[in-house]
Structure 1
Amino acid sequence: MRKKYILNGRRRALRALALITSAPFLALSRRVQASFQAAHHLSNGTFRNNYIGQITKSFSDLMRWRRESPDHPLLSFSLAANDPAFLRNNRKEATLTWLGHATLLLQVGGVNILTDPHFSDRASPFSFVGPRRGTPPGIPLDELPNIDIVLISHNHYDHLDEDSITRLLRRRADTHFCAPLGIRQWLARVGAQHITELDWGDSVRLNNMQLTAAPCQHWSSRAPWDRNRTLWASWVVEKPGFRFLFIGDTGYSQDFSDLGTHYGGFDVVAIPIGAYEPRWFMKQAHINPDEAVKIFQDLRANTAVATHWGTFQLTDEPMDEPPQKLHAALKAAGIDKNIFAVFQHGETRSLARFTETKKTN
């Protein structure tokens, strides 16, 4: 059994192998329910972060933020020229495509992995209100290759979109969904049949790759009454000679230096750079570009792609500000901007060439 690494300095959970399944390539390590729980599990059934506990904001804080928010225009960014036919037929070349916000298509080992799929016009439970999309998806959902695995980071509406999930399932009913604890029921309700729900530190083996749910610092909710009742996670994707980390949403925390120490580095990491203002309200849950660079360093990463910007107007910074601030932070840290890259919406890069930039800079 692999090492458990809940990384707050205390081991408070028991582990055992629970493995017998007829699904091909599936080998799942599950927690054994003990008389006590891991530190990020609370007795009321909710979850907390490793280093700051739960993130809570009062209604008055929310109203203050909305009252003081500037009125920035909704921007639309140009899409990269792409070749969806190549991606649909690709079985050999490892590629990474940014489709917008936190949605990435990772092709590795002939497997198509999609993160936090969002192709709808709004990040909202409603079609007529809520944050509206400024930049269309880099590639329309119907032009994507069939998706083998979907990774879900948490249940916020800009990361877990019902219409996008149901459209993916109409295209391929046997897509396998990996999600943090508590999200299985929601996925099953919208029609997913193959679901693996993991706690931090748990792994599953699918399609000759190991997928591990890892800690990050955030919170969860889809309604006023369910705050922190489902877990949030980043995702490690590993195959021989390659290690990738997807971070959907996070505040800055020691979790990332812990991960860097535990894994000894990553080939590619996806790090959010937007939705960070005002800092008094957003800092615990959303990193800014300066903190994104710190996380890149903490993870001992070779290369990174910037996500979570330029798609929705979610917070108070202008939509085009995050890449500018990222470039300034990279310059101050002496890191080449080609190593921590800002993709165009819809841009595909060969991972072999992308990761080579670390060696040539």
Structure 2
Amino acid sequence: MPLPFVSSPSSPATAAGPLVAPSGPCPLAEPRPPGERRVWPRSFADRLTTPLPGFRAFARFAREGTVRPGPEGLADVPRLPYDPQPLPRVDARTVAVSWAGHASWVIRIGGLTVLTDPVWSRRILGTPARITPVGVPWSALPRVDAVVISHNHYDHLDAPTLRRLPRDTAMFVPAGLGGWFRRRRFTRVTELDWWEAAELGGARFDFVPAHHWSKRTLTDTCRSLWGGWVLTDTAGHRIHFAGDTGYGHWFSRIGRRYPGIDLALLPIGAYEPRWWLSDVHCDPEEAVRAFQDLGAHRMAPMHWGTFVLSAEPVLEPLTRVRAAWERAGLPREDLWDLPVGGARVLG
């Protein structure tokens, strides 16, 4: 999500938990108790990879910043890939993903149905209405066992969508965000710091770092954490959901700590103007580099073609990620460039 106006963060509080992963493979953290109530720092600003924009950056943006593509960049909206498919049939040994659009996935893993950053709304605050419909009808969903949230920006944390879920749905959320869910009467909320994990039905949910930030109101900049998730079933299948992130050192560290990632769900859109968004949003070429740093086997692009959040032409992320993949000499069958609504089963 493009950076709205924020004031400079105050002196960061001491972070809870480890900030770095060891340089090589190591035993994973013991799972935390589900629903555990914890005390967190007042601010997570010390986790920022780079400082948030200051006055000069905002002044430059006011002079020359472009927030939306022009008519030529929007001309391809009718050509955006949209092909709703039935959810794959699965059992406890099957891993499948379906892309509902933006950063919203329906993941079937370990016999569970997990939603990532679910946004089924037509419109989110401060953004034009979605340019492709939701790819998975809400009525087509089986019982949702769990939701994972990457951070609290409105295009990733959507209150109207979450109101559709039973209040006893398991919620896995970043540190400092649990109160938001409890105020809405969710009863099974687990907050995690980076490199921490919880379990549900035998599957592991590990919260991992990302190059991003958090803000939902005028007064809560970096009051909650941000990150991605690694989901692992009892057979060792692994999916990495990166959430919203720029490119940087965390990807190689995640790859070392969680070797053998079968599928990486990586963002490729909302990257122009580059000088404004490079710290918090990967461009397509950086997403391919992140995939390589992770050592993952397959990549599925996301965070494009759903909401118009920035200035690049709407179809450009797809054409650029395909070109970057080819230049890197990677097997074409390992790029799961799904249409909105598309689905794949992990063989």
Contact 1:150–1:176 (Cα < 8 Å) also in 2: yes
The CA distance in 1 between the partners of 2:280 and 2:50, in whole Å, is 12
Cα RMSD after superposing both structures: 2.7
The reply to whether residue 282 of structure 1 matches residue 283 of structure 2 is no
Quote the offset at 1:154 in angstroms.
0.4
Q: What amino acid is the match of 1:111?
A: L
- 2:189 aligned partner: 195
TM-score, length-scaled by structure 1: 0.81
The within-5 A match list for 1:1-361 is 6-7=19-20, 26=34, 45-49=43-47, 52-58=49-55, 59-64=58-63, 66=65, 70-71=69-70, 72-73=73-74, 75-76=77-78, 77-84=80-87, 93-124=94-125, 130-167=127-164, 169=165, 172-239=166-233, 240-352=235-347
Q: How far apart, CA to CA, are the structure 1 residues paired with 2:109 and 2:68?
A: 41
C-alpha separation in 1, matches of 2:123 and 2:67: 23
* Structure 1 position 121, deviation (Å): 1.2
Task: Tell me whether 266-275 or 67-76 shows the greater mean CA deviation.
Answer: 67-76
Given that 2:127 and 2:308 are in contact with CA atoms closer than 8 Å, whether structure 1 keeps it comes out as no
Q: Secondary structure at the match of 1:297?
A: helix
Q: Which runs of 5+ in 1 are unaligned?
A: 11-15, 353-361
Counting aligned pairs with the same residue, the percent is 35
Following TM superposition, by how much is the alpha carbon of 1:259 offset from its aligned partner in structure 2, in angstroms? 1.2
- 1:54, 1:219 within 8 Å by CA — same for their partners in 2? no
Any idea what SS the aligned residue of 1:328 has? helix
Higher relative contact order (CA 8 A, sep 6+): 2
Secondary structure of the 1:60 match is helix
The 3 A distance-change label for structure 1 pair 188 and 264 is same
Distance 1:343 1:61, change over 3 A: same
Q: 1:181 to 1:334 in 2, by over 3 A?
A: same
CA distance in 2, matches of 1:301, 1:79: 26
- Choose 221-230 or 298-307, whichever is displaced more: 221-230
- C-alpha separation in 1, matches of 2:245 and 2:186: 26
State the aligned residue count.
Answer: 319
Residues 66, 189 of structure 1: alpha-carbon distance in 2 compared, 3 angstrom cutoff: farther
Question: d(CA) in 1 for partners of 2:31 and 2:200?
Answer: 16
| 3-state secondary structure, aligned to 1:341 | coil
Q: How far has the Cα of 1:191 moved from its partner? A: 3.0
Query: 3-state DSSP class of the match of 2:205?
Result: strand
CA apart distance, 1:94: 2.2
Which stretch shows the higher mean deviation, 265-274 or 182-191? 182-191
Q: What letter is aligned with 1:263?
A: Y
Whether the 8 Å contact between 1:122 and 1:133 is mirrored in structure 2 is yes
- Unaligned runs of at least 5 residues, structure 2: 1-16, 24-28
Q: Following the alignment from structure 2 to structure 1, what is the Cα–Cα distance between the partners of residues 152 and 321?
A: 26
Closer/same/farther in 2, CA of residues 255 and 78 from structure 1, 3 Å limit: closer
- Asked whether the equivalents of residues 55 and 218 of structure 1 are also in contact (C-alpha less than 8 Å), the reply is no
> Is the CA contact (8 Å cut-off) linking 1:27 and 1:204 kept in structure 2?
no
TM-score, normalised via structure 2 length: 0.84
Q: What displacement does 1:165 show?
A: 0.6
Which residue identity does 1:291 align to in structure 2? E
CA separation of 1:17 and 1:345: change in aligned 2, threshold 3 A = closer
Q: CA deviation at 1:254?
A: 0.5
